[in-house]
Amino acid sequence: MILYLDFDGVLHAEDVALDAQHRPFLRGPGTLFEHADCLATALAPYPQVAIVLSTNWVRVKSFRYAVQRLPLELRRRVIGATWHSRFAVQDELHFWWLHSASRYDQIVGDVSRRRPRWWLALDDDAHGWPASALAHLVHCDSQHGLGEPRALRQLEERLAAQCAARPSAP
C-alpha cells in the first residue's frame, strides 16, 4: 500500500522559494513541514502503508535531502520517489516531466511500475486527474494542507476504509 506524498500545499503552505544559498523557505505565514506530525499520527495505525515522494523537492534538491526533512516516523516509510535523477539525462523524459506531465501522470507512471495493491495521493494539485481516479486523491487546500480539518479527515477515512478491507499479514 502506497501513499504518494507531495510537500508544498500538503505538509505546509505551497508558497515555497529558495534563498540565495538554495535553501527552501516559506514566503508566507507558517513553517516548513508544520503538518508533518499530523501525517505521522494519521499513518501510525497503518504500518503497511509506505510512502513514495511525489514532490518537486526531489527533483530540485535531491531524494536524500527531501527524505531528511521529514520526521523519523515518516522517513522510515519512504521507499522511493516518482522522480529519479536518471530522468534528467533522458531528454524526452525530462522535457515531458517538466513541461507536459501532470502530477497525476507522474504518479500513475510510478503506479504502473510499482503495481501496489492500493495507492492514494496526498496533493494540492488536482490538475489532470480524471473523475475515475479521484478516489485515489486526497486534495488539500494549497494554503492549509493537512492543517485543514477536511483534508485530514478525508485522509483518515480513506486509510481506515482501505486498511480495514485489506488487513496486513501477521
Domains and their CATH numbers in the chain: 2-165 (3.40.50)
- What pLDDT is recorded for position 105? 87
Fill in the amino acid letter for 133: A
Instruction: Give the pLDDT mean for 139-163.
Output: 94
- The answer to whether 165 and 157 are in contact (CB under 8 A) is no
- What pLDDT is recorded for position 106? 87
> How many C-beta atoms lie closer than 10 Å to residue 136's C-beta?
17
Instruction: Give the pLDDT mean for 28-41.
Output: 95
| pLDDT tens by residue, 96-146 | 556 557 889 889 989 999 999 999 999 999 988 999 999 999 999 999 999
Please tell me the distance from the alpha carbon of residue 109 to that of residue 80, in angstroms, as a whole number: 13
Mean pLDDT of all residues belonging to the chain: 88
Instruction: Give the pLDDT mean for 16-31.
Output: 93
Q: What angle do CA 164, 53, 118 make, to 5 degrees?
A: 25
Please tell me the distance from the alpha carbon of residue 76 to that of residue 43, in angstroms, as a whole number: 12
pTM for the model stands at 0.88
- Report residue 49's pLDDT band, with 50, 70 and 90 as the boundaries: very high
> How many C-beta atoms lie closer than 10 Å to residue 123's C-beta?
26
